[in-house]
Amino acid sequence: MKLIDNLATTPEYAAIFADEPLLQAMLDFEAALARAEACVRVIPPSAAESIGNAARAGDFDAKQISAQGLRAGTLTIPLVEALTNRVRSADPPGARFVHWGATSQDVSDTAMVLLLRRAWRLLAADHARLQESLRRDSDRHADTVMLGRTLLQPASPITFGLKIAGWFDALRRGWNRLDAAFRNAMVVEFGGASGTLAALGDRALPVAQALAKELDLALPAAPWHTQRDRLAAVVCACGIYTGSLAKMAKDVSLLMQGEVAEAFEPGGDGRGGSSTMPHKRNPVACSLALAAGTRVPGLVASYLFGMAQEHERGVGGWHAESATVAQVVQSTGLAVVSMAEVAASLAVDAARMGKNIEQTRGVVFAERAMILLGESLGRAAAHKLMEEAVQRSVQENRKLTDVLAGISEVTNILPASEIQALDDPKAYLGAAEVFRKRLLDSID
């Protein structure tokens, strides 16, 4: 993995789009095409065997192909030339049938689909690992009460289990979209020069069917050289999924702030330190997921911008795609791996969560008191009374319940025991547990 990509992906995801796997995916297309055409008796079986024997990426000079591809406008042209030369050295007659009836974009598009299939499997495993940890943590913290926070300010309490369940369900929905997009994108590209496979005559469809079978891909109704919606759906779904991962990362990183100190991603072994401040415990994994969440939306927009491709074969649009798709998928992989690591070893300080509620002096329960008083006073009057009570609580550094105990309009309605119980966080959780379970059990 290149140093410049150190904070942009992981070695595993980088390896999927590395030079040799990319060349091998392109060569796999050429070998599969030859076998398919031999099966339909378009080319001799001996030629297909020779092409398959020569289609080994390790035997090709990736740097040379890259340099030549820059001048040719596609890697396919120099790769096909190099493959033809290798076949010719062993089977001169067979060399005539390399790349028979195909066009450059057939190779590059199908190769990308083959690489995406590998990425799909890896993402699925990492997602499953993350979801398993989140479900476990949500159940573990079903009764762990903490401050809700709205507009970054303390609000009425929630449970940490509910917060985690929110992450879980958003990521499940995101994965369902992404999984479906990957599934729909697993189609072969094979159209020849103008998308009609005219060079193969009446054997065009049989060859296409055989090719799809060889590669274990679906055969679309027609070639899709300038219809980029399937890949666009993958890219967009990656954007949404990565955004949900970044939301989780944002929450955890805020909970790690020294002034909050309620939950922490794993540390140690060189993680989260500072080059100057030994006391630091930085949210490293969250930073990586947030970086991915920052980077991916622009890449998604770039891909969508390139969808308006000209006629039957575009100029520039599909040439721009490969790098964009690879970066999107690699960034998504980094984000899910990072947050899976966080979820697997998330440290939670339940006592600090309780203390942070106490430090509000009960003002976060003003809504609860307002609702109870509003039954007698009306909502507007109760709201005004509680605003004044909260101001006194803050100004006098007193608990809200103590302030309320000295207001006759309150004591005339609520008994002293009920006033003192107003700031019990577990008594004001509403349907938190119901919602938590619904989030974990949701199927949408």
Question: Largest Cα–Cα distance in the chain?
Answer: 103
10-residue stretch averages of pLDDT, the chain, 444 residues long: 84 96 98 98 97 97 95 95 97 97 97 98 98 98 97 96 98 98 98 96 97 98 96 98 98 96 82 45 92 97 94 90 96 98 96 97 95 94 95 95 94 94 95 97 79
Active-site amino acid positions: 274, 313
Structure token pair of residue 243 = 């955004």
Beta strands in 141-259 (DSSP E): 145-150, 153-159
The pLDDT value given to residue 175:
98
The pLDDT value given to residue 444:
66
DSSP letters for 20-51? HHHHHHHHHHHHHHHHHHHHTTSS-HHHHHHH
In a 13 Å sphere around the CA of 114, the CA atoms on its Cβ side amount to 23
CA distance 289 to 157: 27
The pLDDT value given to residue 266:
87
The pLDDT value given to residue 282:
85
DSSP 8-state symbol, 143: T
The pLDDT value given to residue 281:
72
Q: For the chain, list the domains and their CATH numbers.
A: 1-102 (1.10.275.10), 113-184+227-357 (1.20.200.10), 358-441 (1.10.40.30)
The pLDDT value given to residue 5:
84
The pLDDT value given to residue 276:
45
Structure token pair of residue 197 = 């496979």
The pLDDT value given to residue 273:
47
Q: Write the CB contacts of 108 (distance below 8 Å, at least 6 apart in sequence).
A: 26, 74, 75, 76, 318, 322
The pLDDT value given to residue 165:
98
DSSP letters for 239-280? HHHHHHHHHHHHHHHHHTSTTT--EE---BTTBS--SS-TT-
